[in-house]
Each structure stands twice: as structure tokens, then as C-alpha cells.
Structure 1
Amino acid sequence: MERIIEADLQRLKTETLTAFHMAQVAVDKAARSVFERDPALADAVITGDAAIDVKECALDAEILRMLALYQPVASDLRAIVGCMRIVGDIERIGDQAVNIAERGLILMELAPFAPPPKLGELAAATRDFLANTAVCFTNLDMTMAKRLCEEADEILELNISILKEMAEFMRDAARPVERAVQVCFIAHGLKRVCDQCTNIAESVVFTREGACSRHRCD
């Protein structure tokens, strides 16, 4: 029985990582659609979200099956519950990718507008966050989990600086407000992706140590 649950736990982790990769690709395509003004990329993100939702439902069903079948305790229980938490965060990352893609499509209907440089910084930081989150979950890396939690403050500061810059942009009545509003939404979407990555890091801490690290990084 112990060997069977170990095999199922490994399969659950692998499938969770697959779902995470799907969401990671979606965010990358959504960000590229904004900067490259590519509607095909945006449409691919929007239509592809259904596959992430299907994956989430399949993982939920597998998690419930394992809980009922094995009635796990200790580290096995934490591993399953940790995946359950992470799957929800992955689905929300996919939703944020859709939101970013949709805002990008709105921007494409307006006059060409060079996104602020800090939005590029935030997009790059979000890609790094996603990549590091994959490493964190794969290896149950506590050091990386702590790093992600700590770096969340830097993401927040970058997001706030973009919002302030767009607020100044909108104060000039001669400039169209709509473009700045959409940039704000895109920046917030990227920031929310990083928030979900932080949640996943906290679930890694729970899985590894059984400790609740929500709302703190220690």
C-alpha cells in the first residue's frame, strides 16, 4: 500500500506541474501579446484557458480519490492537501493570463501606445517568478519559497509605481485615458500572477514542514 500511494503521489505532483506549465505558458503568451500587439497570441490564451480548467477539475477528482482511498496522514496528507491548494492557485494564474490577453486586445483597438518601461520590468519579473515557483514546487525548496515570499514586496512596489505613472499620464486631459487604464489592469494582472506564485510557495512550506506560512515569510 505504501508503494502504491508513493506512485500516486508522484503522479499527482507530475500532473500538477503539467498544469502549472500550461498556466506559465499562458502568462508568457499574454504578456507577449501586449508588447507585440499580436491578437493571435491573445486569442490563443483565451481559447486555451478551457484546457487549464479541465486539468484543474481532473486534478480535483484525483485528489478526492486519493483522500478517500488512502486516508493519508502526516507527510502524505500534507503532500495531497498542498497539491489541492496549488491547483487552485494555478487555475487563477490561468484566469489572470486571460485577463491580460483581453486587456491587450482592447489596447490593440486603440492608437499605438508604447507600454511604460516598468511594465516590461514587471513582465520579466513575473516570468522569473513563475520559473522559480516551478523549481520551488518540484524540489520542495524551502530557500526558494522564502525568497519568493520576500520578493513579493518588490513586485508590489513595481506595480504601484506603474499605477502612479499611469495616474500622472491620465492627468493630462489631452491624452486618451483608455490606454492608461488598460495598462493599469495589465500591471495588476501580472502582480496577481506573482501573488499566486507566493501562495504556491507557502503551500510548499506547508507540504515540507506542516507549518502555515500564509501572510508571513518566516
Structure 2
Amino acid sequence: MVDRLRAFSSMSPGPAEETRTAEAPLFASGLLRAIRFLQLHWKQLSHDIASGTLSPAITDLSVRDSAAEVLKPEPDLARFLKDECSKSDWARIITRIWPNTKYLDVVITGTMAQYIPTLEFYGGGLPMASTMYASSECYFGLNLRPICSPSEISYTILPNMGYFEFLPANRETDSEADTELIDLADVEVGKEYVARIGDHNPTKL
């Protein structure tokens, strides 16, 4: 619960929300987990905001100490959150709670693409900016048109971020057509490849 609280804290409503322009938990699944957390715990959150205290369910002392430094009773904000979250319809909940949000800065390619319809439901049609392409090894691509349609997203590779090799893929059979890896310099325009990325840090090999 503490980890989910931390994930939600960066997008919690408050005075700063008057100038919020984006929601950015990195992956689409992370944003949806935060919304699910809100669905399950909005009553407790409303109580904590109204009283300026933290739920006893939060037992991590570092979290409690940090929260105690900034928490104060905000009954109007708590009432606003309660009014919105108590409604049965959660469509557009992001723009209802954070009305100045302009876009969702989340990764929506690869396995994250399955969450696009749900993000459209909660976001009320807010643009989704999938700005980067990354793996556990490194960041290796940027979307130079971040507000484009999800179906048109492409990434420009940053060759200095890692060592890149590519395995030619057969689109018709959805399989690897050749087992020989080729370097970035030998990639051909119009063909599809499975990317293999190595980290520059030898301690991670």
C-alpha cells in the first residue's frame, strides 16, 4: 500500500493542481494503478485531507514523517474529492479532478498499448504523449512527435545510450527470419527488426 501511495502522491489533488499540465507515471499501467488506488481508497484519502492526518494503515515511518511536514487540514479539497469520487460514473475522472491537465505523459507502445482505451475513458480524450522508448538496460529512443496519434508513434534511436544490434523479422510469419544479428549501420529502411540492446556497463552483463 505504501508503494501505491507513493505512486499516487505525485498526482494527488491540491493547490499546485491549479497549474498542472500533465500526468506522468511513465507507463500507462502505472497511471491506471494510481486511478484504481483512488477508486479503492478515496474515502480514506478524503478523511486524511480533511483532517490533515495520515491513515494508520501507512506504517512506513519515513513516509509518515515526510507527510507530517506538509499535511494540513483542507476540508474544501476533501469535499471536492469526495463529491467527484462518490459518483458512479468515473469517465473523465482525470480532467474532473485535475481540470488543467493538458496531456498524459505515458508509454503506450508495446504491451502498454492494451491500456489505450481505458486511458481514453478516464482521460476524457486527453492526448497521450509517449515520449520515450526504453528497456531495463537503458533509454534508447525518443518520439519526436510526442502528441501524435498512438497508431503513428515512432522512435528515433539514440545510438549513444547502448550497443544496438538487430535481428531481421519476417512480418508475414511474425517470426525471426534470420539468426544473424546486424549492426545499426546495416539496418535497411522499410524492413522490420527485433532490437537487441546491450548496456555499456560491464557490471550488468
Q: TM-score band (shorter)?
A: under 0.3
Q: Which has the larger radius of gyration?
A: 2
Q: Which has the higher contact order (CA 8 A, sep 6+)?
A: 1
Give the TM-score normalised by the residue count of structure 1. 0.20
The structure in which a higher percent of residues are helix is: 1
Could you say which structure has the higher strand fraction? Answer: 2
